[in-house]
Structure 1
Amino acid sequence: MACCITELEAGGAERMFVELVCRLDRDQWQPTVISLGAESEPFVDRLRREGIEVRCLAVTRRWDVSAVARLAGELKQLAPDVLQTWLYHANVAGCLAARWVGIEPIVTGVRVADQRGRWRRWVERICTSRASRHVCVSRDVAEFSRSHGSLDAEKLEVIPNGVDVDRFTGVEPMDLGDRGIATGIPVVAWIGRLEPQKDPLAAIEAFGAVGRSDPNCRLVMAGEGSLRGRIEARIEHLGLGERVVLLGRVSEIPSLFARSCGLLLTSRWEGMPNVVLEAMAAGRPVVTRPVHGIGDLVEDGHTGMVVVDDQPAILGEALLALLADRDAAEAMGRRGRRKVIEKFSLETMVSRYEAVWQREISLSVEREGDAGKG
């Protein structure tokens, strides 16, 4: 089989792709990964260490038409029994390339309820129309895709993300002493790309209110992106220099959660945020906006706090409530951990994808047989 992804950077959707491919039953599936991104991207080496072939096309422009031709060449050479695409640009390019060289079935991976314009959804609908199945990461994403008319409703299927709970069990807390945070000082974690979708500036505004009421608390932000300069300026303007710490890109997320008392999620749009699953696996409550996918994960007042009001100050009030009642916060965290153990295992996610591929391959063989009879 072939698996095509937009890039192999260290993001949540990319990590889930890598977990899926690495956990496949190798007696049944021999995956080759094709990335539209560069050889230098972080997850390339992880896949190769697992014995998986990775081909990187190093596409430098998102709408490079020649990339479709190059991808088609790779697919023609591989002649896979099934193509799984992952993320928007890979879905579009992969479907076009596969159609060009007659590869089917095609299963797309729809990871987010994309808010970035009708033209993107129009392109997606036209280019992926020959896909056999569109696997959506949450019920919210499936409903968004159906209601906005971007994808054929009859082809939609929901397979939620999974999480490796063992990775978040028995972990030593991250030592933040070199960042001026002594043991015992409460820490709220914010984890994600410093990009508009994740709205990290809202986290700074929300924490401004927290800092005034609880000056001992710290906000620790893990991630990099184009908004870092604006974030640093806002931190300085609000006088939060000693209370907000920018860690940059962090690989040891479990140890950061072990050191924190909760997660703050400020995203404007999502599909099913992996970082929320990870926080729950670590037994940490979540304060979040009601973005897509949250309804499947966070029960307000039970496993976290869902703040419907869009104002950062209201997010800050929710954080203060969480910090004020540690017993209640820890109980939320325990309930969240139980939920992911029961409903969101990686093994279940992988087996469901394998079942989809096997079903679509069988249907494709049947169609070919019927065509031959005709």
Structure 2
Amino acid sequence: MKIVHILTRLLRAGSEENTLLTAAGQVAAGHDVVLMHGRDVLPEFARDLAPGARLVTAPSLVRNLSPIQDSRAVLEIRRSLAKIRPDVVHTHQSKAGIVGRFAAASAGVPLVVHGVHILPFLGVGPAQKAVYLRLERAAARMTDGFIHVSEGMRGACHEHGVGTDRAHYVVPSGFDLSRFRNAEPPSDWRQILGIAPGDPQPFVIAMLAALEPRKRHLDLLRQSAGFLKQFPQVRLVFAGDGHLRAEVEAAIKELGLDQQVALLGYRNDPERIIAMADICIHTAEREGLPRSVLQYLAAGRPVVLFDLPGIEEVVTHGENGFVVPQNDWGSFLERVGQLAASPERRAAMAGKARATRLERWDEKFMAERTLAIYEELLPRAVFSEASA
């Protein structure tokens, strides 16, 4: 098959890694794979994770809503697809999901699939929700099948009337499980945490997430400043990069947390950062099913996070982690404090985290299952087109 994946951005984040690992599996299976992306791209990252996949740029494809740019992007992508003549177009991320599906339908692509990593109409105000829902419902009419990262995403689509007459599948976002199960802390962990040889090891909280608004690093810093100052032996470690880096750095200084908060930027050894931590956290206000949370559990680390659609698939409250109602920062910090104060409870939850059944989140399963869905849908899509 000739397969084109379309993404708004091709940077270092969960949806991009999911797509690249899927593409890598498809290349390994002998398929011709193209990664079409907007202007925000790290080509070396893409080539490392998906060697053999070709990169094609659509310069007008941008993240923010822009009627003029979006119209140009539809035409750009349509022209590229007319040249490539793919059997399958698989869109990812919100903007590329809308623009790419309109372009693919107008180019006559036999099979159009949308990967749901996150839904833009969840966790936003009424006006934004109405706009996003209208766009998603329109694009759904040009979609042969949806591939969701979690049952929560599939359920939200059905609940909001998005593509209810289309095929919906759930394929967990895979990664190399063994890499996280067997990791050791980095050799320079003392330097990362800012402690001298001989000093006692601090209590370490890690959060792996791109530095973008919906992950709420800034809110976390402001809400937890008092907690951190009350317990100077605690270290908070952020791993990840993004366009909010300068603001996060400024907030750390402004709040006087330079000695307790480490901002590491992008790391190619996330498993080692998790291995350094006593517990891990996730503060996103909206998300599909966070890959980082799965990685925390694979490494045997208890997690504290805000409630997200489908999170109950992997986190059982009070067993391998704590799930707190969205925006309830008081309860969030209370749960963090409980784990910090009780090594016994922490150890028990760590054991249950490590025992969490994560086989469905294996990267090989993800690539194989996605190909099987294409093969299932292609005859149906071709028949539907011939009957139209």
Aligned to 1:161: 173
Aligned-residue identity in percent: 27
Whether the 8 Å contact between 1:47 and 1:53 is mirrored in structure 2 is: no
Aligned to 2:159: 147
Matched residue SS, 2:32:
coil
Alpha-carbon distance in 1 for matches of 2:195, 2:220: 19
How many aligned residue pairs are there? 370
Aligned to 1:107: 113
Residue of structure 1 aligned with 2:85, choices 73, 79, 84:
79
Residue of structure 2 aligned with 1:98, choices 86, 97, 104:
104
Matched residue SS, 1:220:
strand
Aligned to 2:294: 277
Aligned to 1:357: 374
1:202 corresponds to 2:215? no
Whether the 8 Å contact between 1:38 and 1:59 is mirrored in structure 2 is: no
Matched residue SS, 2:134:
helix
Whether the 8 Å contact between 1:206 and 1:315 is mirrored in structure 2 is: no
Matched residue SS, 1:248:
coil
CA offset at residue 359 of structure 1?
Answer: 0.7
Alpha-carbon distance in 2 for matches of 1:279, 1:311: 22
Deviates most, 209-218 or 262-271: 209-218
Whether the 8 Å contact between 1:137 and 1:159 is mirrored in structure 2 is: yes
Alignment of 1:162-177 (within 5 A): 162-174=174-186, 175-177=188-190
Aligned to 2:259: 242
1:231-270 Cα shifts (integer Å, max 9, x gaps): 4444345432211122222222111011111111111111
TM-score w.r.t. structure 2 length?
0.87
TM-score w.r.t. structure 1 length?
0.90
Alpha-carbon distance in 1 for matches of 2:343, 2:24: 38
Letter in 1 for 2:265: G
Alpha-carbon distance in 2 for matches of 1:144, 1:27: 32
- Aligned CA distance change for structure 1 residues 171 and 270 (closer, same or farther; 3 Å): same
Deviates most, 315-324 or 337-346: 337-346
Deviates most, 25-34 or 101-110: 25-34
TM-align CA RMSD: 2.4
Aligned to 1:123: 135
Alpha-carbon distance in 1 for matches of 2:172, 2:22: 12
Whether the 8 Å contact between 1:195 and 1:226 is mirrored in structure 2 is: yes
Whether the 8 Å contact between 1:107 and 1:131 is mirrored in structure 2 is: yes
Alpha-carbon distance in 1 for matches of 2:183, 2:356: 20
Q: Structure 2: which 5+ residue stretches go unaligned? A: none
Letter in 1 for 2:317: D
Matched residue SS, 1:305:
strand
1:177-197 Cα shifts (integer Å, max 9, x gaps): 334145722210012122221
Q: Runs of 4+ in structure 1 displaced over 4 angstroms?
A: 368-371
Whether the 8 Å contact between 1:287 and 1:304 is mirrored in structure 2 is: yes
Matched residue SS, 2:238:
strand
Whether the 8 Å contact between 2:27 and 2:53 is mirrored in structure 1 is: no
Aligned to 2:19: 17
